[in-house]
Amino acid sequence: MNTRVQDNKLKSYEDNEVIRCHNCQGEKHFAKDCKMKTMKVKDESHYLQKAEQIKKQSKDKAFKFCFMVDDDKEPSPLHQQAVEKIRFTLHDNHLTIEPFNDDIDHISEMIKEYVTNVEYRVSYYKDELTDTQFRLEEPRC
C-alpha cells in the first residue's frame, strides 16, 4: 500500500490515484496484465526476414528428403563409368572380380552419395543465384 508521511500523519493516496493501462488506456490494471493484445506495426524488412526463414526451412526439409531417395533408381552415368572402369582394370590385370565385389559395392555406394550431394548442392546454388538475381531486378523506390 502506497503511503505518504505528511505532518507525522500517514496518508493513503491509493484511493485518489487511478491506475491506467498503457496498452488499452483502461483503468484498474497494468499493461503487463492487459488482456487486449497490442498491434505492432511490422515493416517490409520483417516480412522479408520471415520469408527467408520459411524458405530456409523448406530447403532443409528438401535436404532431409534427399536421404530418403529410393536407391533402386537408375545410377547416374558417372557412377556407371566409375564401376566399369574398376571392373575393366581388374580384368586387364588378370584378377578375378569376386574378392573385390565388396570393395566395388562400397565404392559404388560412396559414388552414389557423392553424386547425390553434388546434385543437391547444384540445385541449392541455382536457387540462391535465382533469388539473388530476383532481388537485384526488383525496382527500388
How far apart CA 41 and CA 49 sit, in angstroms, is: 15
Q: 3-class SS at 11?
A: strand
What is the domain partition of the chain in residue ranges? 3-33, 44-137
Res 8: pLDDT: 47
Res 40: pLDDT: 63
Cell numbers 511490422 correspond to: 42
pLDDT digits (tens, 9 = 90+) for 13-25: 555 677 888 778 7
Res 130: pLDDT: 80
pLDDT digits (tens, 9 = 90+) for 70-106: 555 565 676 677 778 877 887 777 766 677 777 778 8
Closest of 49, 72, 59, 54 to residue 121, by C-alpha? 59
| pTM for this predicted structure | 0.28
Res 76: pLDDT: 66
Residue 141 reports pLDDT greater than 60: no
Alpha helices in 1-76 (DSSP H): 44-66
pLDDT digits (tens, 9 = 90+) for 12-63: 555 567 788 877 878 888 878 887 765 566 677 777 888 888 777 766 665 5
